[in-house]
Structures are given as C-alpha cells and as structure tokens.
C-alpha cells in the first residue's frame, strides 16, 4: 500500500479518551514496552518512509539540484501534517549570498513544526537537516545513491545516516505514538534545515528572529546528526569541531589551452594553485599556516583522563576508513586529533580535468577548495585573516602573472558543553534501556554549524544523540545505516523523550 495513503486512513481524532487515561497510570517502562513493540511492527513502513526520502536528491551544494532540496522540504511538510504536527511554518531565507554562480538562487526553507501543546510539559527542540552531500554512481557507489537498497541488514543510500535516517526516525517516533494513541511526554518543536551541508546559510539569523517567538519556551535541544565512535557501543556527544571552508580562484588564459602549443611557455593556473595548496598542510596533518596552532586550548590533566574510559582503537579507525593509513596509532592521539586539534583538508579543484583518458588541456581557471576544522580557543575571524595573509604571501613568492583570490565560502563554530545535565541523564537512561549498556561520552570531529547558536540564542543546552555507527560512510560512497541502528535508534529517541519528560 502507498505509505501516504496508509497514514491518511488513520483518523486519530476518533480515538476514545479512555485509551489516553489507561496510559496515564502506566509506568514509563510499560509505556516504552508498547512503543518498542509498535516500532518493531512498523519496521517495513519506516524503511519505506526512509526510501521515499532518500529518493529525493536534495544536494544543497549543487545549484542545479536546488529544486530537489525544496522538494524534500515539501516531503517533510506532508509527513509532518499526516503525523499530526501543527503550526507548520515553512520559513523562506531569501537568496543565497555570494560566492554563488546563480545570484538569484533561493536558499531552501527552514521547516518548523510543533507536536503537543501542554504547558505542564517540557518542550524539546529537535533539529535535523534534510539536505545531503553530493553523490554520483560514478564516484564508486555499488548501487545508485538515491535509491535506498537493503543488503545484509544495512540500508544503503545518500542521506541514510546523514541526516535523513535520523530525521525520519523522529517522524517514526511520532507515528508509533499515534498508532498507540499514546500521548507524547513532552512538547516537540521541529526545526529542519536544507543547507547544513553547505554551511547552514540563513539559519543563524532565523534562530535569532524566532528565539522569543516560535522557539519560546524551549527547555532543551536534541540533535541526531553524528555517529557512534566505533561500531559496537552507543555514544552521546558533547562537542563538535567548527568548519571554515575556503576557496582559492586562479585564472589566466582566456580559454582552456592545448598543452602542446602553450605548455612551457605560459604560467599555468593549476601549477600555481597546486604549488600553493601543497603548502597549506604537511603529509602528517600539520597545518603550515602560522598562528592557528598557537590559538588551540592546552590539554588539561582532567581532559587527558577522559580518553582512558573510551572504547576505541586504531583498528576501528582503519576499518572505518577502509585502509591502513592512520597517522597515529594510539587511541589518545587519534581521538585528540579528531576532537580537540584543528585539521586542514584539501577537497578538490573545480575546473581541473577529472575524466578518464588523457586530455592534454591547460585549464584556464581553477578553484581549489579546502577547509579547516576548528576547535577551542581558535578565533575564527583571526584564523581567516591568517589564511588570507598566508595564501597571498605564497602567491607573491611564485611571482605569477595569473590572477588569484582567496575567500571564505562559509564558516560554522565549534561547540563544547557539559554532558551532565537533565537531557544527558535522560539520554543515558534511554540508551541503557534500549542497548543494555551505558553510552560513552564523546566529542565529534565533524561540525554542525548551528549548535552553538541554539545554545546561545535559546539559552539552553544541546544534546547530540547519534543513531548511526562510525563505519556508516557519511559523505563517502556507499553511505549506509544499519537497520538495527535505524530501528533501535527510534526506540532510543522515544525513550529519551519519556525519560526527559519525567525529570
Ligand atoms: N553530519 C554533520 C555534517 O556532516 N556536517 C558537515 C557540516 C559542514 C560544514 N561545512 C560543510 N559541511 C561536516 O562536514 O561536518
Ligand atoms: Zn549531517
Ligand atoms: Zn554531513
């Protein structure tokens, strides 16, 4: 049966109030038992819902796919409506600021929605993103990236773990409660964005505008948009690195040229670019731009001890990267370099020849992309200036007549909080009840640019509650989420809501 039709056949208003009364005397554990059974029963429906979401190639970084990102926002609105959310607002964010190719390109909207309106209950703001990283079958995927495929209890597809799986899992939690006629223990405000993978453009301003309006009364925020550290043990996360993304544009010749005619007789833009890009970071990951390392907060003794209790080793890193290419072998070194030191990665060169075969071209204009993951206490604006000064100095040293420009495409702040508050307590209980173990407390090497803004603007704390495993391959080829993580993850989310509601 078509999923949307299936939902529309359930008339929630017709449920007799006596059902709600019978639940009201039940213990949380009993209620959760019913929720967990319902989640298990609905597994095929939940997988179909994720398949429908993955089928929309909502790649925010590809301007030609912007309409698909909009389509994804419409998909979410329909799902939310059918699951009983109200006050659904689709907030436009205006045009995408430069650098952008189409200067009339509209930013995808923020989708806001509420579930529950009980002043005696706490309110949780749940954030997620509905855009995804680019993906092409030719990148090396085994299957078409925008078709969810189940193989060996794993669901493959772009966005399956980052972040459509978790976003859809929250919707699944709503459906399980609806079908049980079980009231949610908290009020929920959903905030779904479509530009997270491209720097969350426009969201910070919206959060500022809505802090005392739509978001008024939020007690805590929960984000499911990161991963377990390894593959065996669930984690809760209290820190993220920030991310400043830059580009270097180099151009010279009026058009792409024949290397047999012009090779050796003109300054080539790509030679200049590669020369400069190769001086940003060394092969051991050391950032070569002066001033950045000096801003990093020193390691304290208390922090050093935190790593001892965490389950992780170099084999997990090798397994997740599909290689034996680790720079560091010890757990502490690996975790520190992922969580608390900055890193600089080179991502690509727009305009460079990248097809098969042997095209003898000299590209006329190339754009090098790189980013720096930031950590406490790096001052983002100071770091930008260090980057610009360094890149400009390196170009000067080349003495090239080609034109060059270095600029920031987007930035997002790092975030670190205290994992000992009511929200973490509820999530620890939820993890224990679903997975049978206490979660490790981790930081994350990736970034979720809006996290610090939520904390500051809504004057509340944020919990990161990841569903997927460390080997899910987010941003990579063959991204997946294990069926178990998707389903037990929804249970963990539900249990978290119930435990938080009772604190
Ligand atoms: N799941 C979070 C995530 O993947 N975040 C992105 C955010 C980002 C920042 N700049 C571009 N994307 C990440 O790369 O960490
Ligand atoms: Zn994400
Ligand atoms: Zn991502």
Flag whether 397 is marked binding: no
Q: How far is the CA of 475 from the centre of ligand 3 (A)?
A: 6
| Model confidence pLDDT, tens digit, residues 178-218 | 999 999 999 999 999 999 999 999 999 999 999 999 999 99
Q: How far is the CA of 247 from the centre of ligand 3 (A)?
A: 19
Flag whether 447 is marked binding: yes
What's the confidence (pLDDT) of residue 24? 78
Distances (CA, A) of 224 to 116, 182, 228, 235, 492: 20, 23, 11, 11, 11
Flag whether 114 is marked binding: no
Q: How far apart are CA 80 and CA 111, in angstroms?
A: 10
3-state secondary structure 53-75: HHCCCCECCCHHHHHHHHHHHHH
Ligand nearest to the CA of 446: 1
Q: Are 243 and 450 in contact (CB under 8 A)?
A: no
Mean pLDDT for 232-260 is 98
Please name the residues in contact with 161: beta carbons below 8 A apart, sequence gap of 6 or more: 227, 467, 468, 469, 472, 473, 474, 479, 480, 481, 485
| Model confidence pLDDT, tens digit, residues 298-328 | 999 999 999 999 999 999 999 999 999 999 9
From 415, 443, 446, the mutation candidate for ligand 1 (largest count of ligand atoms within 8 A of CB) is 446
Check whether 19 has a pLDDT greater than 70. no
Check whether 4 has a pLDDT greater than 90. no
Give me the residue label for tokens 């944020």: 462
Q: Are 113 and 86 in contact (CB under 8 A)?
A: yes
Nearest 10 degrees: Cα torsion 138, 144, 146, 149? -140
Q: What is the pLDDT confidence band of residue 9, given thresholds at 50, 70 and 90?
A: very low
Q: Are 134 and 62 in contact (CB under 8 A)?
A: yes
Mean pLDDT for 273-284 is 98
> Which DSSP helix (H) or strand (E) runs through 341?
none
What's the confidence (pLDDT) of residue 255? 98
Mean pLDDT for 17-41 is 84
Q: How far is the CA of 198 from the centre of ligand 1 (A)?
A: 7
E runs forming strands in 225-362: 235-240, 242-251, 257-258, 343-350, 361-362
What's the confidence (pLDDT) of residue 11? 42
Is 131 an annotated catalytic residue? yes
Is 196 an annotated catalytic residue? yes
What's the confidence (pLDDT) of residue 12? 40
Check whether 93 has a pLDDT greater than 90. yes
Check whether 273 has a pLDDT greater than 60. yes
Percent of the chain, pLDDT > 90? Answer: 94
What's the confidence (pLDDT) of residue 7? 39
Q: Of the listed 79, 131, 411, 482, which one is catalytic?
A: 131
Check whether 10 has a pLDDT greater than 50. no
Mean pLDDT for 81-89 is 98
- Output phi, psi for 222, to 5 deg: -130, 130
Flag whether 360 is marked binding: yes
| Model confidence pLDDT, tens digit, residues 331-356 | 999 999 999 999 999 999 999 999 99
Percent of the chain, pLDDT > 70? Answer: 96
Check whether 402 has a pLDDT greater than 70. yes
Neighbouring C-beta atoms of residue 253, cutoff 10 Å: 16
Q: Where in the chain is the domain with CATH 3.40.630.10?
A: 31-239+415-502
| Closest atom of ligand 1 relative to the 371 alpha carbon | 10
| Closest atom of ligand 1 relative to the 445 alpha carbon | 15
What's the confidence (pLDDT) of residue 2? 42
What's the confidence (pLDDT) of residue 23? 80
What's the confidence (pLDDT) of residue 15? 45
Task: Give me the long-range contacts of 28-33 (CB less than 8 A, separation at least 24).
Answer: 28/498, 28/499, 28/502, 29/433, 31/182, 31/498, 32/433, 32/491, 32/494, 32/495, 32/498
pTM over 0.95: no
DSSP 137-154: GGGT-SS-TTS-EEETTE
Q: How far is the CA of 448 from the centre of ligand 1 (A)?
A: 6
| Closest atom of ligand 1 relative to the 227 alpha carbon | 1
| Closest atom of ligand 1 relative to the 163 alpha carbon | 1
Which ipTM did the prediction report?
0.97
> Which DSSP helix (H) or strand (E) runs through 78?
helix 66-82
Output the ligand 1 site: residues, CB below 6 A.
Answer: 162-163, 196-197, 199, 225-226, 243, 245, 412, 446-449, 474
Flag whether 197 is marked binding: yes
Q: How far apart are CA 459 and CA 112, in angstroms?
A: 19
Q: How far is the CA of 198 from the centre of ligand 3 (A)?
A: 9
Q: What is the pLDDT confidence band of residue 41, given thresholds at 50, 70 and 90?
A: very high
| Closest atom of ligand 1 relative to the 410 alpha carbon | 10
Domain boundaries 31-239+415-502, CATH class: alpha beta
Q: How far is the CA of 192 from the centre of ligand 3 (A)?
A: 14
Q: Are 339 and 444 in contact (CB under 8 A)?
A: yes
* CATH number of the domain located at residue range(s) 242-297+340-412 in this protein: 3.30.70.360
> Which DSSP helix (H) or strand (E) runs through 159?
none
| Model confidence pLDDT, tens digit, residues 479-499 | 999 999 999 999 999 999 999
Nearest CA to ligand 1 atom 8: 197
Q: Where in the chain is the domain with CATH 3.30.70.360?
A: 242-297+340-412
Nearest CA to ligand 1 atom 10: 199
Flag whether 158 is marked binding: no
What's the confidence (pLDDT) of residue 99? 87
| Distance, C-alpha 47 to centroid of its chain | 20
From 198, 237, 369, 448, the mutation candidate for ligand 1 (largest count of ligand atoms within 8 A of CB) is 448
Q: Of the listed 163, 196, 411, 482, which one is catalytic?
A: 196
What's the confidence (pLDDT) of residue 125? 98
E runs forming strands in 60-217: 86-91, 110-115, 123-129, 149-151, 154-156, 187-193
Neighbouring C-beta atoms of residue 64, cutoff 10 Å: 9
């Amino acid at each position: 049966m078509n999923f949307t039709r299936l939902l529309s056949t359930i008339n929630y208003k017709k449920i007799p109030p006596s059902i709600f009364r019978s639940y009201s005397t039940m213990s949380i554990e009993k209620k959760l038992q019913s929720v967990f059974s319902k989640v298990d029963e609905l597994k095929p429906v939940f997988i179909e819902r994720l398949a429908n979401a993955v089928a929309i190639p909502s790649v925010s970084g590809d301007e030609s796919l912007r309409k698909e990102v909009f389509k994804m926002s419409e998909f979410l609105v329909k799902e939310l409506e059918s699951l009983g959310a109200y006050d659904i607002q689709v907030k436009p964010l205006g045009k995408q600021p430069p650098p952008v190719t189409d200067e009339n390109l509209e930013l995808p909207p923020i989708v806001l929605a509420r579930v529950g309106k009980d002043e005696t209950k706490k309110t949780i703001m749940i954030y997620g993103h509905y855009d995804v990283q680019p993906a092409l079958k030719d990148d090396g995927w085994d299957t078409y990236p925008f078709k969810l495929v189940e193989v060996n209890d794993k669901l493959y597809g772009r966005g399956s773990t980052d972040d459509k799986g978790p976003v859809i899992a929250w919707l699944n939690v709503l459906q399980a409660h609806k079908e049980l006629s079980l009231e949610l223990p908290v009020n929920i405000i959903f905030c779904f964005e479509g530009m997270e993978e491209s720097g969350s453009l426009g969201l910070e301003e919206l959060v500022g505008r809505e802090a005392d309006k739509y978001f008024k009364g939020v007690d805590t925020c929960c984000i499911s948009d990161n991963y377990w550290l390894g593959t065996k043990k669930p984690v809760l996360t209290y820190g993220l690195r920030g991310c400043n993304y830059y580009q270097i544009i180099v151009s010279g010749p009026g058009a792409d040229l024949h290397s047999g005619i012009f090779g050796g007789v003109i300054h080539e833009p790509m030679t200049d670019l590669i020369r400069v890009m190769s001086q940003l970071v060394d092969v051991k990951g050391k950032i070569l731009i002066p001033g950045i390392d000096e801003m990093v907060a020193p390691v304290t003794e208390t922090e050093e001890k935190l790593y001892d209790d965490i389950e992780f080793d170099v084999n997990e890193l090798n397994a997740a990267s599909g290689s034996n290419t680790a720079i560091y072998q010890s757990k502490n070194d690996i975790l520190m370099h992922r969580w608390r030191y900055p890193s600089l990665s080179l991502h690509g060169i727009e305009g460079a020849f990248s097809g098969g075969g042997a095209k003898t071209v000299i590209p006329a204009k190339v754009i090098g992309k790189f980013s720096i993951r930031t950590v406490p206490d790096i001052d983002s604006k100071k770091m930008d200036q260090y980057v610009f000064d360094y890149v400009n100095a390196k170009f000067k040293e080349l003495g090239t007549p080609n034109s060059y420009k270095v600029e920031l495409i987007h930035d997002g702040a790092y975030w670190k909080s205290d994992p000992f508050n009511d929200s973490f307590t509820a999530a620890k209980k939820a993890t224990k009840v679903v997975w049978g173990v206490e979660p490790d407390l981790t930081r994350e090497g990736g970034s979720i640019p809006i996290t610090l803004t939520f904390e500051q603007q809504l004057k509340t704390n944020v919990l990161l509650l990841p569903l997927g495993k460390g080997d899910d391959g987010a941003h990579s080829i063959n991204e997946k989420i294990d069926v178990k993580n998707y389903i037990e993850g929804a249970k963990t989310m539900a249990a978290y809501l119930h435990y938080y509601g009772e604190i």
